[in-house]
Chain A
Amino acid sequence: MDEGRKVISDDFARQLSPETALPVAAIKTLIGVIRRSTNTTIRGMEAELKEAIQLMEDKMETDSPDNSRSTISLTSGCQLFLRHVSRFVAESVGEEGFDESCKQQLLHRGERFAEVSETSREQIARLGHNFVRDGTVVLTHGYSRCALHLLLMAAETKVTLACSLREGRPDGAGFKAAAALSKVGVPVTVVLDSAVGYHMEMADLCVTGAEGVLENGGIVNKVGTFQMAVLAKAYNVPFYVAAESYKFARLFPLDQRDLPKGKIPRAPFAAPEGTPESVATFSPSVDYTSAEYITLLFTDLGALTPSAVSDELIRLYGEA
């Protein structure tokens, strides 16, 4: 059994590359689990998959000791895949059991699913880049592959486009995105997270990515997104979110702290020397932005209003 756990864990580590999104890596790992599996019952197979998911979640937590990475998208991607498996079973396996041909069919579909997930970033960019008009000033936050892809595609087709990025404390991810944009000739300014209010009146639109898209159409994203969204609303600046559909999670938080345990990772944040012991520091690395602040979500399913997200989720999980 430990042997099996090690294979899964290694496979997952191999799949995780900077260019692959966490959920896609997880889905590919799960396909590997099915391929290797010798289980002949569908129950057994599902149990095996669930175990693998648990393993990956644990691994994410142990690998980043300070919990700096959110596992929301990992869980949502895996849930989606599990749902996919059980739907497949309900449709085509029936009572007589799970044989080799079923397994092949399941693998085939799983691979297509992974393929589609991989191309979704391209689709989102194609959908969203038209929202960025010539000469607009875009305010974005942190480093999101999805939002960046969209901006790069917009930069290809537009004559002028200026981007302001927020530095994205604590890990300074804004600089990484700024470098990518400036390489293609987009005028980029990196601004302080705390200066978002100063810059909002100059912005024409805001685009961010998301760690997870929640059931009410809100998002969980890098800390600082929420204040940007609130300010955007105050200034009537449209606030767009670019996110793949495998990030749709079945969570319905009521406030910032109402996320499942372990889903709000802490960011490293040390008090300067000389601070009394009694002063506590706290720095979450993600925050929750509720649906009312979001204008539209660009997903591979189309440009959705926040209420459309809950619709999709209910349709998928509701008919069990």
Chain B
Amino acid sequence: MLQQCQRKATCRCSTVQNRGCGVIGMEQSYRSNMRSLSVDYSHGGKPTGFDVASMDVRAWLQQWPRVLSQLETLVVGLKRRQVSGPYNCAQFTVELYRNLVGSCKWGTAGQLMDAVREVGKELVAAKPSELAVGNMVRRVLYIIRDEYESAFSAGDGSGGGQAATSASLTSPSASRGGGGGGGGHGRANSRGESTPRGAATGGAGGAAGTAEGGGLGPSLTGMLGGQFGATDFGRSCPDLRQNVVASISELMTELRDMRGVIKEHAKDTIHANEVILTFGNSATVDAFLKAAAGGAKDGLNFRVIVAEAAPLCSGHVLAKSLAKHGIDTTVISDSAVFAMMARVNKVILSTHAVVANGGLIALNGSHAVALAANDLSVPVVCVTGLFKLCPLFPHDQDTFNCLLSPAAVMSFKDKDSMRNVEVLNPAYDYIPPNLVDLYITNMGGLQPSYIYRLLAEYYHRDDLIISPSDEQAS
């Protein structure tokens, strides 16, 4: 049955063109693949925990065909670019993990983390340039660590200081944990909302933020507190499954609500009669600009200039959508960006990923836009959800890039007369952090120099490297 599913997935993929087809269409086809999977709970023998040393993760997952086929479908979808764009990738990855944690019998927390890591390797290898996939793998690992450690630190709290982990010593996570084992979700929430926003609003918030920043990452404080070795993840923790699934569900909610939260900042960012320049198409920018424009009653009047982002010209899609909403929209070619920049008040960019130093991996051509803006001192604002925050460093322009089909740049008709011409169509640009003035995220407005703090907030240091390709960039 599994093979059937896979075949179906492959067939469908082959009918979908790799490029030029709307992402939405691809997502639908991926969804229908998912639906076609029927449930089969029967498996021979007793399910065994995952042992990374002795078995392949696929072999282990065969005990739960449903999860396995979900994995296979996602891997195929990523490879065929049926699933593309950071948001879709993140969403499907988290969905897969929720099922994996919820329905598989994985043994200890350590074994679960091994399984999560192995599955993560498969997913990242399927399409390394989708950095959001790796981010979500790391988030899930962090959730497991967090739930595991808080389960024990809450239990040990009364037994005197010596048993408490250093993580709980360095930060008020001990006091958060004090609420008891069931307080998992509330904690995650308060951490997510209060800390970064408080610290991001200005220097004054810094002191309040620092104490919380301890997290699970390494620090001078942790080093002094005796946090040297790795935590033992072998102990049994009865509520772990339930807590982790709850936290992952929360992560899914966070993903879903992200755009709504970002949108709330639109009215504060864009003012009446401003001229906004944006580049290419992005659902987040689209929602952001529409939120700023408001409705008929509380409408705000501003102009948007959309650079088309050749060769794919995704800017046309955005322009149409904005114009339909009644926003004064102008489309320009990418080469006219500098000429127009003088009359622009703000540049609003979307991004493919935010990297560890606060720079961006964004649509090819964005760097030129950011440089033009910088030259004329026009503020560059990047609107992005924090699931795009990637803990790796971009060492040069090629680290996180991939090449797309050259057909968009030059027609195949000309191939005979252009025999010796190499045609390149890179997908992304790296924009260094000094060219970005502000990030508007689901945590509020952030400066590029603040990004490193969020990394410790979301990811554990030991999880940074998931696949061999990450090692190049860590």
A residues within 8 Å of B by Cβ? 80, 83-84, 87, 91-92, 109, 112-113, 115-116, 127, 130-131, 133, 245, 248, 295-296, 300-305, 307-308, 311-316, 318-319
B contact set with A: CB distance below 8 Å: 161-162, 169-170, 206-207, 210-211, 213-214, 217-221, 223-226, 228, 356-358, 393, 395-396, 449-450, 452-453, 461, 471-474
The CA-CA distance from A116 to B166 in the complex, in Å, is 16
User: Which residues of B lie under 8 Å from residue A296 when comparing CB positions?
Assistant: 357
Q: Do residues B473 and A130 form an inter-chain contact, with CB atoms below 8 A?
A: yes
Could you tell me the distance between the alpha carbons of A150 and B219 in the complex, rounded to whole angstroms?
Answer: 21
Q: Indicate whether A319 sits within 8 Å of B220 (C-beta atoms), given known contacts A127-B474, A307-B449.
A: no
B450: chain A residues at CB < 8 Å are 307
Tell me the complex Cα distance, A127–B470, Å: 12
Determine which of B228, B453, B471 lies in contact with A116 in the assembled complex, contact meaning CB atoms within 8 Å.
Answer: B228
Chain A residues whose C-beta falls within 8 Å of the C-beta of B224 in the assembled complex:
80, 83-84, 87, 113, 316
Q: Name the one of A116, A305, A318 contacting B357, with C-beta atoms under 8 angstroms.
A: A305
Enumerate chain B residues within 8 angstroms of A304, measured Cβ to Cβ: 452
Residues of B within 8 A of A109 (CB): 226
Contact partner, B225, options A87, A295, A300, Cβ 8 Å: A87
Which residues of A lie under 8 Å from residue B395 when comparing CB positions? Answer: 130-131, 133
Q: Are B218 and A311 in contact (CB under 8 A)?
A: no
Interchain CB contact (< 8 A) of B161 among A91, A301, A307: A91
Residues of chain B within 8 A (CB-CB) of A87 are: 224-225
The smallest beta-carbon distance between A212 and chain B, in angstroms, is 14
8 A/B residue pairs, CB under 8 Å, sorted by A: A80-B220, A83-B224, A84-B224, A113-B224, A130-B473, A245-B220, A248-B220, A316-B219
B223→A116 contact, CB < 8 A:
yes
**What 5 A-B pairs are tightest by C-beta distance, nearest first?**
A84-B224, A316-B220, A91-B161, A315-B210, A316-B221
- Report yes or no: B223 in contact with A245, Cβ–Cβ below 8 A: yes
B393 touches which one: A84, A131, A316 (CB < 8 A)?
A: A131
A311 CA to B210 CA, complexed, in Å:
6
- B218→A301 contact, CB < 8 A: yes
Residues in A with CB closer than 8 Å to B219 are: 301, 312, 315-316
B158 CB to nearest chain A CB (Å): 15
For the complex, give the distance between the alpha carbons of A83 and B219 in Å: 14
Contact indicator A314/B220 (Cβ below 8 Å): no
Q: How far is the CA of A313 from the CA of B221 in the complex (A)?
A: 9
Bound CA span A115–B229, Å? 12
- How near does chain B come to A88, taking the closest CB pair, in angstroms? 8
Complex CA–CA separation, A109 to B161 (angstroms): 15
Given contacts A311-B206, A315-B211, 17 further A-B contacts (CB under 8 A): A80-B220, A80-B224, A83-B224, A91-B162, A92-B162, A115-B228, A295-B357, A301-B218, A302-B218, A303-B393, A311-B213, A312-B221, A313-B220, A315-B210, A315-B219, A316-B224, A319-B211
A305 near B449 with CB under 8 A, answer yes
| A54→B471 CA distance, assembly (Å) | 43
A315 touches B396 (CB 8 A): no
> B474: which A residues are within 8 A, CB to CB?
127, 130
Within the complex, what minimum Cβ distance (angstroms) separates A248 from chain B?
Answer: 7
Complex Cα–Cα for A87 and B164 (A): 14
Q: How far is the CA of A115 from the CA of B169 in the complex (A)?
A: 22
Interface pair B453/A311, CB less than 8 Å apart:
yes
- Contact (Cβ within 8 A) B221 A315: yes
Q: Which residues of A contact B358 (CB under 8 A)?
A: 305
Closest Cβ–Cβ distance, residue B266 to chain A (whole Å): 28
Q: How far is the CB of A138 from chain B (nearest CB, A)?
A: 13
In whole angstroms, what is the CA distance A103 to B473 when docked? 43
**Chain B residues near A307 (CB-CB < 8 A):** 449-450, 452
- Residues in B neighbouring A133, C-beta threshold 8 A: 395-396
Contact partner of B472 among A116, A127, A130, A313, CB < 8 A?
A130
Contacts of B206 in A (CB 8 A): 311, 314
B431 smallest CB distance to A (angstroms): 14
Q: Is the CB of B170 within 8 A of A315?
A: yes
Q: How far is the CA of A225 from the CA of B13 in the complex (A)?
A: 57
- Shortest A253–chain B CB gap in Å is 19
Which B residues lie within 8 Å of A315 (CB)?
170, 210-211, 213-214, 219-221
A63–B85 CA distance with the chains assembled, in angstroms: 63
> A116 to B393, alpha carbons, bound, how many Å?
25
Return chain A residues, CB-CB under 8 Å to B449: 305, 307
Contacts of B356 in A (CB 8 A): 303
Residue pair B225, A318 in contact (C-beta under 8 Å): no
**Chain A residues positioned under 8 Å from B211 (CB to CB):** 315, 318-319
Contacts of A300 in B (CB 8 A): 218
A200 to B472 CA separation, bound complex (whole angstroms): 26
- In the assembled complex, the Cα of A209 lies from the Cα of B210 at a distance in Å of 27
For residue B222, which residue of chain A has the nearest CB? A301
Among residues of B, the one whose C-beta sits closest to the C-beta of A83 is B224
CA distance A118 to B453 in the complex (A): 26
- Distance, CA A304 to CA B451, complexed state (A): 11
- When distances are taken between beta carbons in the complex, the residues of chain A under 8 Å from B452 are 304-305, 307-308
Beta-carbon nearest neighbor of A120 in chain B: B223
Taking CB atoms, residues of chain B closer than 8 Å to A80 are: 220, 224
Q: How far is the CB of B433 from chain A (nearest CB, A)?
A: 9
Q: What's the Cα separation between A313 and B223 when bound, in Å?
A: 13
Bound Cα distance from A312 to B358, whole angstroms: 18
Q: How far is the CB of B86 from chain A (nearest CB, A)?
A: 23
- Docked pose: A33 CA to B224 CA in angstroms: 18
Q: Report the separation of the CA atoms of residues A196 and B450 in the bound assembly, to the nearest whole angstrom.
A: 32
With a cutoff of 8 Å between Cβ atoms, the chain A residues found around residue B214 in the complex are 315
Q: Which chain A residues lie closer than 8 Å to B461 at the CB level?
A: 302
Interchain CA distance A84-B220 in the complex, whole Å: 10
In the complex, A130→B474 CA distance in Å? 7
Kindly state the separation between the CA atoms of A116 and B169 in the bound complex, as whole angstroms: 19
Q: How far is the CB of B432 from chain A (nearest CB, A)?
A: 9
Q: Chain A residues near B217 (CB, 8 Å)?
A: 302
A113-B223 Cα distance, complex, nearest whole Å: 7
CA distance A131 to B250 in the complex (A): 36
What CA separation (Å) do A248 and B219 show in the bound complex?
A: 12
Across-interface contacts of B213 in A (CB, < 8 A): 311, 315
Contacts of B357 in A (CB 8 A): 295-296, 303, 305
One of B169, B393, B472 near A91 (C-beta < 8 A): B169
